Structures are given as structure tokens and as C-alpha cells.
Chain A
Amino acid sequence: MGTRKGMEVSIGIAEAVMMADVDVIPAYPITPQTHIVEHLSELVADGHLDAEFVPVESEHSAMSCCCGSVAAGARTFTATSSQGLALMHEILFIASGMRLPMVMAVANRSLSAPISIWNDHGDVMAARDTGWMQIFVENGQEAYDHMMWAFRVSEDHDVLLPIMVNFDGFILSHVVEPIEVWSPEEVKQFLPPYKPPYRLDVDKPWTFGAVGIPDIYLETRMAHNEALIDSQKVMEKAWDEMAEVVGRKYSVLENYKTDDADIVFLTMGGISETCMTAVDQMRDEGKKVGVIRLRMWRPFPFAEVAKELGGRKVVLAVDRALSTGGCGGPVASEIKAALYPLDKRPQVVEFIAGLGGRDVTIGDFKEMYDKGAAVAAGGAVPPYEMVGVRA
């Protein structure tokens, strides 16, 4: 059993990264992620963590430095947010295409313009197709646990892909809450040292990042895609083994009070817990409503989503990002794709909530439920709605 402590979630993430014994941290500060790399730089400077902290001049350099460091065989961590993730964009494809395992914590924040430091999922949705594994956590404990987990999955020789652990800026990053920290023995039991199958070595030379002529590019991309899809098996095995070590069981989807629910919310990230609080209150009023929360975003769990949502009357899909000029919310779009092959499909009522840090309240979720209940009673499915928007 670990020790339960009150700590800011960002500090918890940094402490977990220290426990994972990383070798290299190339980083550039950006709100609301800054506390993570600030704390890591202190841990390195004070001698608590034997690692190379590389204060680079931009996020483009941070990600480039990560690639070099992983290629040399070092366990590597970085963290970013919003404009920083956007500036890394070019190198994100290179990290995944070169099959370089690393962990990046992304404190999700909206993109400019207008300038906004506040929380939504616009940043990571713009990086959705970069070929990284992407998961979303909903509280400090989950963020902490998933640092160890992410290294283990990423470095598995059946995976060898980088991973983003997404956690909401401010509404998670800046919150003090209880976190049960792992003991060194638990870390040792769960996370083996990184053993790269290939690495840059002057005595045994390899070429990394070679040109992919038309005769080979297609096959390389197929192999990358298959590795990403297959990473789900490794993720699930690592979740099972983490449960044995620390007693907390995670999975692809989190179901909350869904057993008899005709109407379910489908959420991702930190607002899921606010949604669960709203569900508790609505359950007290006798409403059969629950929450299904997506933990795994890439690869996308099409089979599990179809199985869990298939028998429901109405799905209330709550997105934190907008596909401008497109389908509305990127999560709802995947949900509908997962449901389309089914003979009996639920109605999907779509909401875009909390862009740019607009607070999403218990009352907002209750209003969303009422709109879903109207559809369940035979009403027409409305077009996607921007929750709380002023005309």
C-alpha cells in the first residue's frame, strides 16, 4: 500500500515521473503544464532524480531532443500544452513513425486565437492523427498511476510507440487533492528498466529515420497503424498487472451507474467526474442515467463502444473540442462511426461544452439530460449544441 498525500496534480505527475526513474527530460515551460517541468527541474537540481534536464529553446526543440534521446536508448519524458503541442506538431509524426517510445503529459488547453490559457481539448484533437497512443485521465490519482503505466506500455517491444497522457489544464493540473503514491518496491515490481531493441551506438551502427521511397512507405505506415491498434492488448495487460500491484483497476472505458441506464453520457477527461456528481443527483430523483467515460482515445475502442452503447436509447455525447465547419465534436463523430454498423442504434445527442475554460456545471449536465430525455420520448434529434453559448 502506498501513502495517501494531498498534492497538486502537476506535482503528483512530476513525482511519478521521478519514481519511473527517467533519464532525460527535454522541456519548455507553458501554462498550465509549467509546474510539472518546474518541479522536475528542482528534483534534478536537488539530486533526488539522476537525470539530464535539458532546458530547450522551444517545444519544437523539446520534441526533437526527445527523439534523439530515445534513439540513444534513454527513458525520456516531456510535458506540454496548447501552442506548445502545436509547435511540436511536425516532430510528433517523426517520433511515432520512428517508433520511439516516450511519455508526454499534455495539460489540455485551448488554442489561440483569441488568446486563451484555459482548458479544452482543442490542442490534442489537432494532434489526433499523429500516430501516438493517447489516453485521457480524470483525476490526480489516475494521472499519477498512468505515468508508470505509460512508460511500461510505450516501451513494450510489441508496441514501441510514444504516448500522450492527456489531463485537463487547470481543472486537474492546478487542483490539490488526495493521491496515493507508490512505494519504490511497487514501481520496481511493475515497471522494468527500459531495454531498447535498437539504439544509436557507434560500435553497432543503425540508421534511424531513413527515407521511405514509394516502394516501402505504404508498408511502413501499415505496420505503424497495426502496432497502434494492437497496443490495446498491451494496455489492458498493463492495467491488469497494475491492479495486482496497487489495487486500482483501470480499463478502456469506465462505466458509472450504467447497468440499467437507458440514457448515458459519453465523456472524456476531467469533466467526467462532475458529470458523475450530476448523475448521482439525478439517480436520487429516480432517473435511469449513467456515464461511460472514454479512457483510451487512440487507438479508439470501436468494439467496446459499440457493445456498451448499442443497447441504450440515447447517448449524450459531450465533446470538449469543435471540428470547425465539420461534424461538430470529434468524440461524437467516432461514437457514431462505432455505432453505424449496428442493426439497432441509440440516438446520439451531441454537445460541445466548456471550450476555452467555460465552466461546465452539474446544472449543465442536468439540462443535457433533459434534452436527451425528450429524444428518448420520441422527439427529434437536435443538431449539435454549444452548451451555454450566448446568441
Chain B
Amino acid sequence: MFEIRFHGRGGQGAVTSAELIAHAAIEEGKFGQAFPSFGPERRGAPVMAFARVSDVTIRNRSAVYNPNGVLVLDPSLLKLVNVGDGLAEGGVIVVSSHRPAEDLRAEFKLPGRLAVVDGLAIAMKTIRRPITNTTMLGALLKATADGDKTLVDLDALEHALHNRFGRIAAPNIAAFKRAFKDTVVLEEN
């Protein structure tokens, strides 16, 4: 079982990110589960979403408290939210930021492994909108890969993006692939 917590602001697509991971997992025959942190959605306020990926049936319906992966869509949240809370042993925090990973770790005392990519720059260049949710899925898959084996199959995720976005899927897929390539992973201290 691999558990992920997504941090974003209302409107940035954190819930969509979580759902795309679940859709990709289910499509390749695994078990996937995604759900929002339940509450009134407010644009701009910090929000969370959760996803689980497993080879066997997922029955746990409570929130994720000990994530193996944490995805942070908006670096301004690092000042407001303890994104490393409960991070599982060997877990990774994935942040969209233009700053070097070492700087972020030093300033925010982030635990575990740390993966960083400038998701905003990639999104602006590729999708031409300041929305990083699909871009950062590339970073998440890179940071959580075990050798060549990714958490969910890259083709399955591409297919999930296609199903979700239809004719505007292409730039999202390009951004996702670019982030997968560019993400830098800083190992645990």
C-alpha cells in the first residue's frame, strides 16, 4: 500500500491530482482510491486530498496520516502547513518550487527525501496557465519510482490525463513528462 497526501490551495487541482493517480492505478489493474479532505471548498485556502495505490483491495476509508509521499503544489504552503507531518519512514516530499532543494530543506526543516522541480515555470511554458497539478504528477512519479518501476504506469497516467482533459490533454501530458525528466531528488540526510 502506497499512501499519498496532496497539499494545494482551493482551485489548484489537488483533488484532480489525487483522482488521476487513482484512475491510472485502476486502469492498469491495481487498486486505487482518491478522496478530498472533506469540507467547504474555498478558492485560495489550503486544502488537502489523499490517494492510495495497492496491489490488493483497499478497505481503509480514514484519512492518510502516515503518507509515503507528500505532494506540495504551492510553495507558499510550506510557511503555513507542516507538510512533513507523519511522513512514513523512507517517505518523500515533492515540492513545486524554483528554489534548490537544499535551501528548502534548510529553511523549512523538511524530513525524509525531498524532490523539487519548478512546476510553475513548466506549467506556464507548456499549459500557459499557473496550474501545476498535472505537471507535478510527473515529479511525484519520478520521486517515488523504484528504479524503472513507477508508482503507476506512465502510459496509464497519460491515458487518465487524456480521459480527464480531452482536447486540452496534450499540453498537460507534455508538462507531466517534462517534470518527470527535470525533477531533482535530494536523498535523506
Co-assembled chains A and B: yes
Using a CB–CB cutoff of 8 Å, the interface residues on chain A facing chain B are 4-6, 8, 32, 117-119, 170-172, 174-178, 270-271, 273-274, 276-277, 357, 359-362
Complex alpha-carbon distance, A362 and B65, angstroms: 11
- Say yes or no: is B88 at the interface (Cβ < 8 Å to chain A): no
Residues of A near B40 (CB, < 8 A) are: 117
- B35, B36, B38, B63: the one contacting A118 at CB < 8 Å is B38
- B36, B38, B61, B63: the one contacting A273 at CB < 8 Å is B61
Are B31 and A359 touching (Cβ within 8 A)?
A: no
Using a CB–CB cutoff of 8 Å, the interface residues on chain B facing chain A are 18-19, 22-23, 25-27, 31-36, 38-40, 58-63, 65
Residue among A118, A274, A277 with the highest chain B CB neighbour number at 10 A? A277
A31: nearest chain-B partner, CB-CB: B40
Residues of A near B32 (CB, < 8 A) are: 6, 176-178
Complex alpha-carbon distance, A8 and B33, angstroms: 9
Complex alpha-carbon distance, A270 and B58, angstroms: 12
**Contacts A170-B38, A175-B33, A176-B35; is A362 near B26 (CB within 8 Å)?**
no
Q: Would you list 14 pairs from A and B whose C-beta atoms are within 8 A, ordered by A residue? A: A6-B23, A8-B19, A172-B61, A174-B35, A174-B38, A175-B34, A176-B33, A177-B34, A178-B32, A273-B60, A274-B59, A276-B59, A359-B63, A361-B62
B33: nearest chain-A partner, CB-CB: A177
Are A171 and B35 touching (Cβ within 8 A)?
A: yes
Residues of A near B34 (CB, < 8 A) are: 175-177
- A8, A276, A277, A357: the one contacting B38 at CB < 8 Å is A357
Residues of B near A277 (CB, < 8 A) are: 59-60
Complex alpha-carbon distance, A131 and B40, angstroms: 33
Complex alpha-carbon distance, A119 and B63, angstroms: 14
**Contacts A4-B26, A6-B22, A6-B23; is A175 near B38 (CB within 8 Å)?**
no
Distance to closest chain B CB from A100 (angstroms)? 33
Are B60 and A6 touching (Cβ within 8 A)?
A: no
Complex alpha-carbon distance, A49 and B167, angstroms: 25
Are B27 and A274 touching (Cβ within 8 A)?
A: no
